[in-house]
Amino acid sequence: MKLGPSSIELIGNELAIKWNDGEESYFLLERLRRACPCAACGGEPDVMGRVERPLVSYAASSFLLRGFQLVGGYAIQPTWADGHSSGLYSFQYLKRLDAEWRSPANTSEK
């Protein structure tokens, strides 16, 4: 079965995704925005595979979601309240973020 969301809901400051494999993920909007995978936010790894994020300045509205759409059956494209919408969060990427953020080793990381 191809991985995909069976429902996506905005609950308070979290994006709640129910996957078709039965799992559920909750993404804090602020963390989600900071993990934006678009080139402008520095989500592209360099040739060594390192991802070095440039200093991106955020406003309060950067962490508010205006809406989102599904793209090509493989990704979610959020539109943030500050107008930024070039980040494509593939389902795989979201699953990986969820797993990373759940792991206790990363709880101190912002």
Residue of 35, 36, 76, 94 that binds Zn ion (CB under 5 A): 36
Q: How far is the CB of 69 from Zn ion (least distance, A)?
A: 15
38 binds Zn ion (CB under 5 A): yes
Show the CA angle centred on residue 35, arms to residues 30 and 37, nearest 5°. 135
Residue type, 4: G
Segment interacting with Zn ion, rule: CB under 5 A, options 5-13, 24-32, 86-94, 102-110: 86-94
Contact residues for 6 (Cβ-Cβ < 8 A; gap 6+): 18, 19, 20
87 binds Zn ion (CB under 5 A): yes
CB nearer to Zn ion: give 53 or 102: 53
Segment interacting with Zn ion, rule: CB under 5 A, options 5-13, 62-70, 82-90, 102-110: 82-90
**Buried b or exposed e, range 17-56, using 16+ CB within 10 angstroms:** bebeeeeebebebbebbebbbeeebbbeeeeeeeeeeeee
- Is 87:37 a contact under the CB 8 Å cutoff? yes
10 binds Zn ion (CB under 5 A): no
Residue of 29, 41, 76, 94 that binds Zn ion (CB under 5 A): 41
User: Where along the sequence are the contacts to Zn ion (CB under 5 A)?
Assistant: 36, 38, 41, 87
